Amino acid sequence: MNKCEQCIVRQFSSLKALTKDELVKMAECKTSYTIKKGEAIFEEGEVTNGIYCVKDGVCKMTKLSANGKDQIVKLIKAGELLGQRSMISDEPANLSAIALEDMEVCFIPKAEVMQFFNENNQFSMNVMKTICNDLKDADDQMVAMAQKTVKERLAETLLYLEDTFGKNTDGTLHIQLSREELAGMIGTATESCIRLLSEFNKNEYIELIGKKIAIKDRNKLKRLAD
């Protein structure tokens, strides 16, 4: 059993407010999992009864829409927590969490989290601020979906992906998304997404290197995205 106290990623989440004692307690009740790329941590409608702390890897939070397409609502990376909203609302998960890379996550049962919640004001405040931030992002994204064109949203998303997940030495986006997944993020058909990537490629805003994407002209993309 690894000690939570020595786990670096906790510094990046609400958990940074926990005391040494609380961390020891958490280490005792947590369960560690390895999740393979493509596997679900949990799925929409599932009762989770706790939260997950992402130690390594990235996952997508998706929702299946009536037309059968998976909409990617957000991406979660190492250091972030999963399932906080469902836990607080006391509801089944509203979104599925699917690994985009091999992941390491720790599960912390609801009972313990709620105890930290009640005893540690800073922790609960941190969680609340995180959720408030998620709400702001969701509102903004909703407006983008409603008011921006697919082209604008693609430009915006490419910049977000580079800013959030960085790039490889060859300049390609570090995060590996299929065209279908990228389309699922911007809310469009896969073919439309591919077509616009080709267009961006021709215009030299980006470069397509096999399945990978390298951003060539941030400014032009930024201007496009508004």
Q: Is 143 one of the binding residues for its own copies (CB under 8 A)?
A: yes
Q: Nearest to residue 61, comparing CAs of 82, 78, 45, 46?
A: 82
Binding its own copies (rule: CB under 8 A), the pick from 5, 56, 134, 217 is 134
Alpha-carbon separation of residue 89 from 41, 83, 116, 120 (angstroms): 19, 10, 17, 19
Q: Is 169 one of the binding residues for DNA (CB under 7 A)?
A: no
The per-residue DSSP string of 91-151 comes to ---SSEEEESS-EEEEEEEHHHHHHHHHH-HHHHHHHHHHHHHHHHHHHHHHHHHHHS-HH
Q: From the list its own copies, DNA, none, pick the one residue 94 interacts with, judged by a Cβ distance below 5 to 8 Å according to partner type.
A: its own copies
In the chain, the amino acid numbered 220 is K
Q: Is 24 one of the binding residues for its own copies (CB under 8 A)?
A: no
Interface mask (CB under 8 A) for its own copies, residues 72-91, using x and -? -x-----------x--xx-x
Q: Is 27 one of the binding residues for its own copies (CB under 8 A)?
A: no
Interface mask (CB under 7 A) for DNA, residues 99-138, using x and -? ----------------------------------------
